[in-house]
A and B are shown apart, each in its own frame.
Chain A
Amino acid sequence: MKRWLLNPILSGAAMTLLGAALSPTASAQDYQPGTAAANKLPPNPKPMPRTADGKPDLSGTWQAGGVSINGEPGAPPLHPLPPAPVRPPARQPIPYQDWADAKRKTFTVLDDPTSKCFLPGVPRIVGMPMPMEIVQTPGEVVILYESFRAWRRIPLNAKLQHPDDLTPTWMGDSVGRWEGDTLVVDVTGFNDKTWLGGMGTIHTEKLHVVERYKPINYDSILYEAAVEDPGALTKPWVTGSVLRRPIDVRVEEYECIENNPDNEHIQRAMELEKQKAKK
């Protein structure tokens, strides 16, 4: 991965969109929530709305995945969406430096900060199977996440200038700007306590993320995050997803620490495994 991926303009130009060469096999009239017919709908022809100042209006509820919008394996969700005409970036392994790769292998699932209900950081929070709400104004975008009750303020400024008094935090400091129809968000000022996504995916306080929210149609945003960390990675890493506008969903409360005995069960299961291995 080259440094151009962290250049918001160049990486945007390089993003590949797959056209949806689908012959419609079902009409909109066939659409019945909970039926397979909805799966056969063509992508939504309606474009993303625009604000009075001409920017794409991303306001509303969005979600990257989870059974509530994708359905159980082999079964449609209660409120199926037409397919998105775009795919997320292909999954890639995280290019770790040797020390970080060795260190991350010492972790277990019990070390996952989210298992203790800590904030997941960016970009991990975007992939959580719960909705988020984007609140957009001309000068600032705010994202309210259901998962872990997180929120992000994203003041917009052309120079992507961060405050100069940052102290490392779980979600970092976000600033954004519009590049054409794409909202570009620069995130820095992270602590080193979150995982990027997946077992032991550590990073340092040098973590820097450039997110791109590209509107595709009314119910699809292509989300790409270019992640660099000269302290732990050998080169930048790209991840992402397609954000969908779920039907009849609003962001609600998620008080993660309310009733969380899972780690106790996992701890006991691990001890049992160890005892079995000794015998």
Chain B
Amino acid sequence: MRRMFAAAFVACLWLPAAAPVWAHHSFAAEYDSKQLITLKGVITKVEWTNPHIYFYIDVKDANGEVTNWALEGYPPNTLKRTGLTRDNLKIGDEVTVTGYKAKDGTNTAAGREVTFSDGTKKFAGPIGQ
């Protein structure tokens, strides 16, 4: 019992403090956390910019039609600290990305997890909320 209490106490301590997931705007107003999509494509552009990074991938559908998707991620400094660096996203590389679809109907998503061609997985942005 005492051990259980201690475990629960530790869990409480590990809860994030009252800090927003994204520092400067609302996730829920922009992205649909219920629409987690998976996109496989080739990186065409990387904007390693504040307040959030964007990277773009060309996704080919079954008919060979290509659509360019914009994926938003954490701020550059946060990504550096969580393990995704600018060098990881190389133009021309094929990646598989999960993300939450934008509510405005454009081909934009909040990138969540990137799987690189060697199987490495890295988080690009927050879990939907």
Contacts and interface: CB of A to CB of B under 8 A. Distances in A.
12 contacts: A67-B78, A78-B81, A83-B13, A108-B29, A115-B26, A129-B19, A129-B23, A258-B51, A259-B51, A262-B24, A265-B103, A265-B104
Interface of B: 3, 6, 9-10, 12-21, 23-26, 29-30, 47, 49-52, 54, 72, 74-75, 77-78, 81-83, 102-106, 108, 123, 126-127
Given A130-B23, A258-B50, A265 B108 contact: yes
Contacts of B81: 68, 78, 246, 249
B26 A66 contact: no
A83 B14 contact: yes
Interface in A55-81: 64-68, 70, 72-73, 77-78
A147 B77 CA distance: 10
B30 A259 contact: no
Cβ-closest 6 pairs across A and B: A65-B19, A269-B103, A65-B17, A268-B104, A259-B49, A68-B81
A266 interface: yes
Nearest to A91: B18
B126 to A, nearest CB: 7
A127 B21 CA distance: 11
B12 A66 contact: no
Given A88-B17, A242-B17, A269-B103, A254 B25 contact: no
Contact of A77 (B17, B82, B104): B82
Contacts of B21: 67, 129
A169 interface: no
A197 interface: yes
Contact of A265 (B83, B102, B127): B102
Given A78-B81, A109-B25, A262-B25, A40 B13 contact: no
B92 to A, nearest CB: 22
